[in-house]
Structures are given as structure tokens and as C-alpha cells.
């Protein structure tokens, strides 16, 4: 195991990070959110209303792209674990993958080939593959910075705080910018095409600058030696999945969590435009998907210490379900369905639960990596993050497929920018509230099976470091 010189008061492998290092690491997630959250939240409505593709066709495309990821992610995970670039084992890909990722993100929102399914496939597949080339090493970078569980919790809190700043910038800023650049002041019309292109260019360039900043502030400290990397292979991913029970639990939680988020996020635009009849309030509705993070994520370390991490999941997942139930009730009562104030309150409650629960789950990834290392002697961070990547993209696939098929089933009219039938409105409501709530309840059951508490992880990490000290 490759280790740096220790600072005073540090135990071997249990490194403390400065606040600027935590912020620098978090900048990487902020950057990825500026790019990928724009894709997650708005690419569906861009494809259906601006680019000119049928919703069912888009649904199939989203599914196929995720199937490509199933093949591609293990390859990337194995690739980064087997190599030690001079710029850094994991952090180098923030730059090497970040530059082309920026380009493909911009091209996804270019209407020069409007209506071309081939162009949509090429650009979206390319973007997804490049996102993996950045995201998998970035995820592995987390586990390479330190073994200290308290430090990981702080790091994750800062990371999620900054990630949600990115989410806020996307949720609130994108609709406003698109409307301001659009000649007709709309985000869901053919005329808004150039506005989408300009907006994505701005966000992508800022994202690239943040990835470079992350690169400058991070340093791998706990990684495999070069000799250990020689035996890493793609099949290790599935071997690790089979023998690492906490990893399996976390992987399935990722599926449900990301499916829930992707379905709700992609349907949010439709909900505010067609159900609430308040398109001007869309930026505020989407912004409330991230604002609670600014309040609650800094409190996560204290909350975890007070009630424990499992209980924290239960509490906040329940809060999210309550918020979704409120959205549903508001929307089925005619006198309330266009009451924007009540809608915003429900969205805030829902988002508070979702943000804390899904934000903290990233702190569990280094834990399952250490658990696997304790059993096998190899810290295959890239492969583990590739596996979690497969499952969160499987969730994203559901998030892309389900809305598209539901909209097609209920007869969504892509050409109508103002109103839809009651059946379409009901379908949109199911996407915003009902299906995500069901997935959250499933998520609570899954996370109940996670067995690694902080004491167990600390013991495992100490034993690993003791082994290395004897080598």
C-alpha cells in the first residue's frame, strides 16, 4: 500500500484533510452536476419538445444507453485500477475525461440535426461514456484520500453540499437562462433550441474549470501498489459483487435511489408546466430540489452521531415520502392543484428527505471498499465504483425509460406547450409523486440490510493498516 508521510497526530492511513482540500474534492461533484444534472433534468423535455423526437423513442434510447454503460463501466473501472498515470491514479481523469465530456455535453443540446435519431444516439452515448470516464475515477478518489470514517463523513457532507449547489444552479438557473435566450420566452418550444445550446455551453465550460480545480486540490494517499494492480481484471467486479454483501446492499439501494431521483427530476418540468399551470415558477420548484442541502448537509455529521446512520436513513426517507404524499393530495384536489405555495412547501419537504438520504449514501462506498480489502487484501476502488456506477445508471435508466413510456401511454402531446388531457396530467403526477414514493419505501427495506456500523469499519481499517505495517 502506497502511503504518504504522516502529519502529527495522524495514524497510518487515517489522514486529516484541510477545508480547502474538502472543497476542492467537492468541486468535482459540483462540476459533474452542472453537466449531468442538466442532462438528467432537461434532456427528456429537450428531445420531445425541442429536438422533435417521440417520447417512446426517447425512452428506448435512454434504455439502450444504459445497457451500453453495463458493458462500459466495468471496463473503465478495471482500466483505472490497473494504471498509474503520472498525473495521478484517479484524479488525472478529471482532466483527461473532463475536456471531451464538456464538448459532448454541448453537442447534446445542439439542434443542427434536429429530428435525427442517429445524431441523438451518437452524442448521448458519447456523453455517457465520457461521464463514466470521469465519474468512476472521481468516486474512487474518495476512498483514496483517507480511511478515517469521521473524515469521510465530513468530506461527504462538503461534497454533497457543493453537489447540490450544482443541482441548484441547474434546477433554478437553466430554465431562467433558456427563457432569457429564447426568442419566444419558452423552454419547451422548437424556437428555444439555440437557447438550450448557449445555456449548456455556459454550464459545461464552468464545469470543466471546476474539474481542473478538483484536480489541483486532491491527492491519492491510500491506493494499491503497482504490483497489486497487475492482477486486476474485469471479472473482479462480479466476484466482488458476489462475496461483498454490504456492497450488494448498497448497489441495490443505488438503483432505487437514482431511479426515484431521475423519474422525479425529469417529470418536474412537465408537472409545473401542465399540472400546476405555472411554468414561470418552474425554476423555483426545481431549485427547491437542492436548497435543503444548503441547510441540512452541513448538519449530517452531527445528526449521524446523534441517531446513527441507519436511523438517519429511515428518518429522512420517511420525510421524503411525506412530501410526495403532500404533492399527490394537493394535485388531486381541484381547489389546491394550482396553489403554488402549497406545492412549494411539499417540494421542500420531499427534497429535504431525498437530499440527506441520497447524499449520505456516498459515504458508504469507501466502507464497502475497505470491507472488500479486509477480505481480499486488494483495494480495488475503481472496480467497486464501476459497480456502483452500473447500479446508479441502472436507476437512471429506469428514470429515463419510465417517464418516456408513461407519457407515451397516457397520450402526451409533444406539440402542445400549454395544456394536456386529464389522463396525461394523472400520468405526470404518478411520475412526480407516486412511483418515487414506492421506490423510497423499497429503499428503506434495502438499507435495513446494511450491516457496517462505524465501529466495525474503524476496526477493519485498523486491522488493514496493521497488516501493511508488518509488510
Q: What is the pLDDT of residues 62-72, one digit of tens each?
A: 888 878 887 88
pLDDT at 264: 86
Q: Total domain count for the chain? A: 1
Cα Dmax for the chain: 71
Q: Does a structural domain hold residue 123?
A: yes
Q: Does a structural domain hold residue 420?
A: yes
CA distance 191 to 54: 18
State pLDDT tens for residues 103-122: 999 999 999 999 999 999 99
For range 230-251, the mean pLDDT: 77
Using pLDDT thresholds of 50, 70 and 90, give the confidence band for residue 469: low
Q: Does a structural domain hold residue 224?
A: no
- Cβ 29 vs Cβ 358: under 8 Å: no
Q: Does a structural domain hold residue 4?
A: no
The segment with the largest mean pLDDT, out of 136-150, 177-191, 215-229, 362-376, is 177-191
Q: Does a structural domain hold residue 120?
A: yes
Q: Does a structural domain hold residue 170?
A: yes
pLDDT at 9: 41
The separation between the first and the last C-alpha atoms of the chain, rounded to the nearest angstrom, is 9
For range 151-171, the mean pLDDT: 85
Which CATH number is 366's domain given? Answer: 1.20.1250.20
Domain that holds residue 400: 19-219+233-470
Using pLDDT thresholds of 50, 70 and 90, give the confidence band for residue 87: confident
In percent, how much of the chain has pLDDT > 90? 38
State pLDDT tens for residues 285-326: 888 888 887 888 888 888 888 888 889 999 999 999 999 999
Mean pLDDT of the chain: 85
Give ∠ CA 390-391-397 in degrees, rounded to 5. Answer: 90
pLDDT at 37: 86
Category of 380 on φ-ψ map: left (φ > 0), alpha (ψ -120 to 50) or beta: beta
Please tell me the total number of residues recorded for the chain in this structure.
Answer: 471
The answer, yes or no, to whether residue 6 has pLDDT greater than 70, is no
Q: Does a structural domain hold residue 457?
A: yes
Grid coordinates standing for 83?
A: 494504471
Q: Does a structural domain hold residue 160?
A: yes
Amino acid at each position: 500500500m502506497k502511503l504518504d508521510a504522516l502529519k502529527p497526530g495522524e495514524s497510518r492511513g487515517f489522514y486529516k484533510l484541510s477545508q480547502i482540500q474538502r472543497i476542492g474534492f467537492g468541486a468535482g461533484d459540483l462540476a459533474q452536476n452542472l453537466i449531468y444534472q442538466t442532462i438528467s433534468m432537461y434532456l427528456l423535455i429537450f428531445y420531445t419538445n425541442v429536438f422533435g423526437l417521440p417520447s417512446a423513442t426517447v425512452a428506448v434510447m435512454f434504455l439502450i444507453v444504459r445497457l451500453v454503460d453495463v458493458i462500459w463501466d466495468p471496463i473503465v473501472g478495471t482500466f483505472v485500477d490497473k494504471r498509474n498515470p503520472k498525473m495521478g491514479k484517479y484524479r488525472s481523469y478529471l482532466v483527461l475525461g473532463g475536456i471531451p465530456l464538456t464538448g459532448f455535453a454541448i453537442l447534446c443540446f445542439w439542434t443542427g440535426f434536429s429530428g435525427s435519431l442517429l445524431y441523438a444516439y451518437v452524442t448521448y452515448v458519447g456523453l455517457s461514456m465520457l461521464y463514466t470516464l470521469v465519474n468512476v475515477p472521481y468516486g474512487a478518489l474518495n476512498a483514496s484520500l483517507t480511511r478515517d470514517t469521521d473524515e469521510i463523513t465530513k468530506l461527504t457532507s462538503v461534497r454533497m453540499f457543493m453537489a447540490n449547489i450544482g443541482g441548484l444552479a441547474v434546477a433554478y438557473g437553466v430554465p431562467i437562462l433558456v427563457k432569457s435566450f429564447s426568442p419566444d420566452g419558452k423552454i419547451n418550444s422548437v424556437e428555444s433550441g439555440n437557447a438550450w445550446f448557449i445555456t449548456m455551453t455556459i454550464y459545461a465550460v464552468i464545469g470543466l474549470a471546476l474539474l481542473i480545480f478538483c484536480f489541483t486540490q486532491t491527492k491519492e494517499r491510500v491506493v494499491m501498489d503497482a504490483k497489486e494492480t497487475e492482477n486486476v481484471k474485469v471479472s473482479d467486479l462480479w466476484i466482488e459483487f458476489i462475496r461483498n454483501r454490504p456492497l450488494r446492499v448498497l448497489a441495490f439501494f443505488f438503483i432505487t435511489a437514482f431511479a426515484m431521483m431521475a423519474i422525479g427530476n425529469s417529470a418536474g418540468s412537465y408537472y409545473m408546466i401542465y399540472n400546476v399551470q405555472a411554468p414561470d415558477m418552474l425554476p423555483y420548484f426545481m431549485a427547491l430540489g437542492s436548497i435543503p442541502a444548503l441547510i441540512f448537509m452541513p448538519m449530517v455529521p452531527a445528526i449521524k452521531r446523534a441517531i446513527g446512520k441507519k436511523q438517519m436513513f429511515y428518518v429522512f426517507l420517511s420525510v421524503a415520502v411525506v412530501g410526495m404524499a403532500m404533492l399527490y393530495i394537493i394535485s388531486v384536489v381541484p381547489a389546491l392543484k394550482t396553489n403554488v405555495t402549497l406545492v412549494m412547501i411539499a417540494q421542500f419537504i420531499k427534497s429535504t428527505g431525498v437530499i440527506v438520504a441520497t447524499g449520505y449514501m456516498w459515504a458508504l462506498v469507501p466502507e464497502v471498499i475497505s470491507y472488500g480489502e479486509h477480505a481480499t487484501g486488494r483495494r480495488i476502488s475503481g472496480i467497486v465504483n464501476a459497480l456502483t456506477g452500473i447500479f446508479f445508471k441502472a436507476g437512471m435508466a429506469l428514470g429515463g425509460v419510465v417517464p418516456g413510456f408513461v407519457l407515451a401511454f397516457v397520450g402526451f402531446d409533444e406539440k402542445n406547450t400549454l395544456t394536456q388531457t386529464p389522463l396525461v396530467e394523472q400520468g405526470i403526477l404518478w411520475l412526480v409523486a407516486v412511483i418515487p414514493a414506492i421506490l423510497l419505501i423499497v429503499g428503506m427495506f434495502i438499507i435495513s440490510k446494511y450491516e457496517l456500523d462505524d465501529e466495525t469499519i474503524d476496526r477493519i481499517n485498523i486491522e488493514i493498516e496493521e497488516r501493511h505495517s508488518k509488510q
